[in-house]
Structure 1
Amino acid sequence: MIVCKFGGTSVQDAEAVRRVAGIIKARLKDKPVVVASAMGKTTNGLLQAAETAARGKRQEALDLLGKIRERHYRETQKLLAGSAQEAVLEALGTHFKELATLLKGLAILGELTPRSMDAVASFGERFSTLILTEVLRAGGIAAELMDARQCIITDDNFTRAAPLFDLTDAAVREHLLPSIKAGRVPVLQGFIGSTRNGITTTIGRGGSDYSASLVGAALDAYDIQIWTDVDGIMTTDPRMVPEARRVKVISFDEAAELAYFGARVLHPATIVPAVRKKIPVHVLNSYKPEQEGTLITDEARPCENPVKAIAYKKGITIVNITSTRMLMAYGFLRKIFETFELHKTSVDVVSTSEVSVSLTLDDISKLWDVVTELRKISEVNVDGGKAIVCCVGDNLRNIPGLAHLVFTAVQDVNVHMISQGASAINISFVIDEDRLPHAVRSLHDVFFQKLDPNIFE
């Protein structure tokens, strides 16, 4: 049994959906379970409509919804004919009526809560899987549309809900195994789940990868395939460095670091369920299904190149916290991180001295609440417009001279923070965002002039 997840660009229009149907048909012998994202940009459009409605612009919100409806109707009409088309259009119509009612309610209330955001955002995946299931049936595949909200059970942290693993494992097996045993192909939505009380949740933007990994782990799949619009994990972002090369094989730990530090191929949490069961993950290109992509495995393979890939994360803010009163005192760090915990704000990179702490944030939605609290115990200043650069490779911490190579490559770039040694497989540093392209290109030139053919292509 395998799990095949298809991202938004892989189901963005009729042509893409037909390509996906061909990929699934070619893998029927492997007993695929299909997880799909919303059509590209649909979720953004739905949330824009919801935000517009909450500002009291009822008709404008309905007009935005109308454009999304027209797109889904148009692609359905290209894909299906006769009674199959009629059935899908009718089901879509029911969904859009429900959405319109939600938007009207938001316009009256004038407020968009996280719970309401999840209710609205969930429709994108429900649209796409409805269409995809019927296209598979029309192609002779015994597909069955499932409701991910019955399978992915989460807490109630709306918009960033955390899956409850034991409950999810049991629910996935309960709802999907009978379909699989009957020879059908289950099709379910990525990104969405529900609380134990059945309230719709989402597991964070890009969470369809995570959904696929949760399903694969629960079913003990032997392969999880993440189908996207790139050739796999690359040595860096090819939009920034056109000479970037494909990484053929990489370890779970390395892939997780890359995902967390900005490599957009995978959702950062994707790897966790797969690691639990040691299930290999393939990152593949739905536009070039014949290519082998990138294999993510439990153990790192020997590599002549010390660095496997370079990732980056933009939009970073540094928070500098200083208190001379805390010199030689204990409990200072605890007070700092309790403040971040209180405001549910995660930290990326940390650097400390006797009297000061510098740390980075990529989510600043609660920044000023955090700063206000921290100023009760210290001086605080905030410095935005930064980026994190992260070099990832197996056992980097124990390679003599690696830091020299890294910082020689960026010797003309001001480095604000450095993190090395906390992880054996990465070295990270923070720079001004406007210097990011130069830094990444310089690092790529240093580490990928000569490539290990067993690891790179």
Structure 2
Amino acid sequence: MSLIVAKFGGTSVADYDAMHRCARIIIENPEIRLVVVSASSGVTNLLVELTQADTDAQRRQSLIQQISAIQHLILEKLGFPNEVVVRIEAVLERIEALSEQLSVQRSKAVMDELLAQGEQCSSALFAAVLREKGAKSSVFDVRNIMRTDSFFGRAEPQIEQISSLTQAELSPKLTDEVIVTQGFIGADYQGCTTTLGRGGSDYSAALLAEALKADAVQIWTDVAGIYTTDPRLAPNARPIKEISFNEAAEMATFGAKVLHPATILPAVRQKIQVFVGSSWAPEQGGTWIRHQVNAEPVYRAVAVRRDQTLLNLHSLQMLHAQGFLAETFATLARHKISVDLITTSEVNVSLTLDKTGSDSSGHGLLNESLLQELSQHSRVRVEENLALIAIVGNKIATTAGVCRRVFEVLAPHNVRMICQGASPHNLCVLVAESEAAQVVNALHQDLFETPEVI
């Protein structure tokens, strides 16, 4: 029998009714043996606020009460089963203790431990909902197998260790019951809880699917698949039935909210197909992401990623010299900064950084220490309030007329940066965030809503 790993996001496990819908999806498909859940919608944001240094005692109590209320509403619908109540109350007590600990001493390790509690609650409750519907199900603590380094807030998974631990400790359990586990969290070699960064539940599901050599990963969310662009920006956006790994990776990287950017990587390594669908309306179908697809159009989608930062470095050391870029990237690497786009001239280099890639506690990327290091060998200028827009498709770099068509649409707007040619699957532009919606809608109209669309 095929093995499917299904991941349910925060809105899919937001309350009892949402969990009930997801349980029906699992029961109707016996090939789903492993379920990965996020925290119930809103819980992680409340936990993030609990980690903040300026949260006073009164506000902490209010936040804990809100978290508790979300769990108790689900427990009430379940009829307050004793073993689940005991488990949830223990987690709530742990949340209170960790928040008090943080109020005395700041610690990223404690922050990660606190942020992990949302998934501890949702996994226990979801397994109970499955049992209520007649399924044999239990909870498995993913920290036993999701081995990471100790970079708290954005921990890096250790692939080989995850694979061996998963085969030894998780795989044998999948024969007899549906296992529910947690996304977003892991543990380092000392057993300390870590988090994979915001949105990391998708990544968790794909890593576990890779370790299990699963046939498919299902990502269940609140939209019916991946669209040609955000429907809120372009009313005529339409769902995509099938998309390649390369296209999906570009879309995830450049802003498609449906997928976490890293999700595709484990799937690509094992050629595991990925399905994205709506847990609210599974009958509507969704998008399949596959290694090979039937059609490869020049234009597949328009993705947008807001809250971008442009880092400009000016230095005469670059002029006919070697090593400047190596030194710059070494500095960024020491601070765990990933660069998206880059353009260079003789004495300038411009880099885009994604602020949404900040760690799970919400801390930003450009700290004072990093800026001081960069300032030692260049003049640094930071520009913010920008949006990165990517036209995603196939053979973009080698298809005549693509740039002309795109630039005609962009003519009324100031484009701060252009990147094209490094990948056959995208053409990227950086514009003011205030103009992003208008630019996306205009591009979508021209590329997808005209008769000559490819």
Aligned: 1:43 with 2:37:
no
Aligned: 1:167 with 2:161:
yes
Aligned: 1:351 with 2:343:
yes
Deviations 1:68-97 (A, max 9, x none): 10221112211x12xx62321221111111
Paired AA for residue 177 in structure 1: S
What residue number does 1:391 align with? Answer: 391
What residue number does 1:177 align with? Answer: 171
What residue number does 2:138 align with? Answer: 144
Moved more, 125-134 or 372-381: 372-381
| Secondary structure of residue in 1 paired with 2:7 | strand
Deviations 1:22-54 (A, max 9, x none): 0111012x1421111110010110121232xx4
Q: Structure 1's 301 and 450: CA in aligned 2 closer, same or farther, altered over 3 A?
A: farther
Among 281, 287, 304, the alignment partner of 1:312 is 304
Q: How many angstroms does 1:67 deviate by?
A: 1.6
Aligned: 1:333 with 2:335:
no
Paired AA for residue 174 in structure 2: I
Q: Structure 1's 367 and 418: CA in aligned 2 closer, same or farther, altered over 3 A?
A: farther
What residue number does 1:75 align with? Answer: 74
| Secondary structure of residue in 2 paired with 1:239 | coil
Deviations 1:150-182 (A, max 9, x none): 12111111111111001101111222222112x
- In structure 2, what is the Cα distance between the partners aligned to 1:125 and 1:242? 34
Deviations 1:193-239 (A, max 9, x none): 11122111111111111111111111111111000000101000111
- In structure 1, what is the Cα distance between the partners aligned to 2:425 and 2:198? 26
What residue number does 2:424 align with? Answer: 424
What residue number does 2:27 align with? Answer: 25
- In structure 1, what is the Cα distance between the partners aligned to 2:243 and 2:304? 18
Among 304, 324, 334, the alignment partner of 1:342 is 334
Paired AA for residue 346 in structure 1: S
Q: How many angstroms does 1:452 deviate by?
A: 11
What residue number does 1:116 align with? Answer: 110
Among 194, 203, 218, the alignment partner of 1:201 is 194
Deviations 1:293-334 (A, max 9, x none): 00000134324x421011111111212212234311111211
- In structure 2, what is the Cα distance between the partners aligned to 1:264 and 1:250? 16
Among 81, 89, 92, the alignment partner of 1:85 is 81
Conserved in 2, the CA contact under 8 Å of 1:144 and 1:179?
no
- In structure 2, what is the Cα distance between the partners aligned to 1:142 and 1:6? 18
Q: How many angstroms does 1:379 deviate by?
A: 2.3
Conserved in 2, the CA contact under 8 Å of 1:420 and 1:427?
yes
Q: Structure 1's 64 and 316: CA in aligned 2 closer, same or farther, altered over 3 A?
A: same
- In structure 1, what is the Cα distance between the partners aligned to 2:148 and 2:260? 17
Aligned: 1:299 with 2:298:
no
- In structure 1, what is the Cα distance between the partners aligned to 2:42 and 2:169? 29
What residue number does 2:360 align with? Answer: none
What residue number does 2:14 align with? Answer: 12
Paired AA for residue 16 in structure 1: A
Q: Structure 1's 172 and 325: CA in aligned 2 closer, same or farther, altered over 3 A?
A: closer
The TM-score normalised by the length of structure 1 is: 0.94
Q: How many angstroms does 1:451 deviate by?
A: 8.2
Q: How many angstroms does 1:367 deviate by?
A: 4.5
Conserved in 1, the CA contact under 8 Å of 2:138 and 2:177?
yes
- In structure 2, what is the Cα distance between the partners aligned to 1:56 and 1:76? 28
Q: How many angstroms does 1:450 deviate by?
A: 5.0
Paired AA for residue 334 in structure 2: L
Moved more, 271-280 or 329-338: 329-338
Conserved in 2, the CA contact under 8 Å of 1:122 and 1:192?
yes
| Secondary structure of residue in 2 paired with 1:176 | helix
* Aligned pairs, number: 444
Paired AA for residue 235 in structure 2: P
What is the percent sequence identity of the aligned residues?
Answer: 40
Q: How many angstroms does 1:425 deviate by?
A: 0.6
- In structure 2, what is the Cα distance between the partners aligned to 1:261 and 1:356? 24
Moved more, 363-372 or 279-288: 363-372
Paired AA for residue 22 in structure 2: V
Aligned: 1:125 with 2:126:
no
Among 250, 259, 265, the alignment partner of 1:266 is 259
Moved more, 183-192 or 317-326: 317-326
Gaps of 5+ in 1: none
Q: How many angstroms does 1:362 deviate by?
A: 2.1
